[in-house]
Amino acid sequence: MLEKVGEFMGKLAKLVTAGAMVLFIMLSGCETGQENTERSAMISSNEPTLQAAGNEIVPARSIVVGFSQLGSESDWRRANTRSIQEAAKETGIQLILENAEQSQEKQFEAIRAFVKQKVDVIAIAPVVEKGWEPILREVKQVGIPVIITDRLVEVSDPSLYVSYIGSDFYEEGRMAGKYVMDKLLHAEGPIGIVELKGTEGSTPSLSRGKGFHDVIKQNPNLQVVESEYANFTVEQGNKVMRELLERRSKEIRVLFAHNDDMALGAIEAIEAYGLKPGKDIVIVSVDGTRKAFERMVAGNINSVVECNPLLGPYLMQAVKEMLDGRTLPKRIVTPERIFTEVTAHNELNNRMY
């Protein structure tokens, strides 16, 4: 008798467990389905609306990332945007990209829209370092994780973002400074240097400048005679360099441009002024775009420090790992090298941006 009862109880326990499992799946399936239906209606009309029909398991929905891109000011930036779009597509992540065209206010608006759309992750390429604390606190309150890419934000509370993926700009500036030190080691002083700076208050401009100055101050012959903002663009690089040449062409023997696009603009101005870029004026810049490599092969730029814009795969990998519950490193640094007119030829065809 007792055996019969035991057998019955065993069967009953299995039935109850199975029932509980089906109930759990159906409930979570419905909730996800309902949540998804609601979210997919808000995010984009073309996302397939997932219905939890009967006890069918609802397919896991794609991750949604809201990305606030700072602009489209340079070849580097456009390559950065393409990389993030392509990586999202390859990993099946739904990307909502908003281009702020250099406006921090527009970045804030985009981020508030992402919060309303209940995205899973917010990624930001911040145009400048300051002013991010309030908006990042708003995002933290609703529990959406933030990943900072490319440039950095200056905040008192590091918990306001999960991870920062970007270059070591200070080291890029140091590499540029070391190149100038070596190239002009035996040149007679004083050697006038002009500096074309990127966007005021942006991490690359602040840190590349500091790295460069920290190195060249070791040689008193090297003097930065003018340091002007040209906003990382070809047009401004051309305009500012033209003005510098009109003011002090006799003293200028070196140009340090915080990015290739400004260097390319400056080269146009130097040639228009009747001087030879790369010969009369030594030129070193940062990014490593194909156009800069072409100018290096032609002898118009003497050295380029690489700054990798292809951050898409790093970002999407970080998103997936974070949502899988893995802990991300606070700082993910992209590897970079320096090239000169001697090594440019071999590297030109490898350039992917």
Interface positions with ligand GZL (CB under 6 A): 73-74, 76-77, 150-151, 167, 204, 232, 259, 261, 286-287, 307
Nearer to ligand GZL, 150 or 195 (CB): 150
What spatial distance separates the first Cα and last Cα of the chain, rounded to whole Å?
80
Minimum CB separation from ligand GZL for residue 189, in Å? 30
Instruction: Give the helix ranges, DSSP H, for the chain.
Output: 2-43, 75-91, 104-116, 133-141, 169-183, 203-216, 234-248, 260-272, 290-297, 312-323, 344-348
Nearer to ligand GZL, 125 or 193 (CB): 125
Minimum CB separation from ligand GZL for residue 123, in Å? 14
Minimum CB separation from ligand GZL for residue 77, in Å? 5
Minimum CB separation from ligand GZL for residue 97, in Å? 16
Amino acid at 245: L
| CB-CB contact of 255 with 265 (8 Å) | no
Nearer to ligand GZL, 151 or 174 (CB): 151
**CB atoms inside a 10 Å sphere around CB 298:** 13
Nearer to ligand GZL, 95 or 128 (CB): 128
**Position of minimal CB gap to ligand GZL:** 76
| CB-CB contact of 280 with 288 (8 Å) | no
| CB-CB contact of 66 with 117 (8 Å) | yes
Nearer to ligand GZL, 168 or 226 (CB): 168
Interacting residues of 5 by C-beta distance below 8 A, sequence separation 6+: none
Nearer to ligand GZL, 259 or 300 (CB): 259
**Alpha-carbon separation of residue 90 from 3, 26, 94, 313, 317 (angstroms):** 58, 30, 10, 9, 11
| CB-CB contact of 308 with 167 (8 Å) | yes
Nearer to ligand GZL, 47 or 228 (CB): 228
**Alpha-carbon separation of residue 348 from 75, 257, 262, 294, 295 (angstroms):** 16, 20, 20, 7, 10
Nearer to ligand GZL, 265 or 278 (CB): 265
Minimum CB separation from ligand GZL for residue 284, in Å? 13
Nearer to ligand GZL, 86 or 129 (CB): 129
Minimum CB separation from ligand GZL for residue 309, in Å? 7
Minimum CB separation from ligand GZL for residue 151, in Å? 5
Integer-rounded Cα Rg, in Å, for the chain is: 27
Nearest C-alpha neighbor of 233 from the set 12, 38, 72: 72
Minimum CB separation from ligand GZL for residue 74, in Å? 4
Minimum CB separation from ligand GZL for residue 199, in Å? 7
**Alpha-carbon separation of residue 165 from 70, 158, 332, 335 (angstroms):** 15, 14, 5, 11
**CB atoms inside a 10 Å sphere around CB 164:** 22
252 bridge partner residues: 192
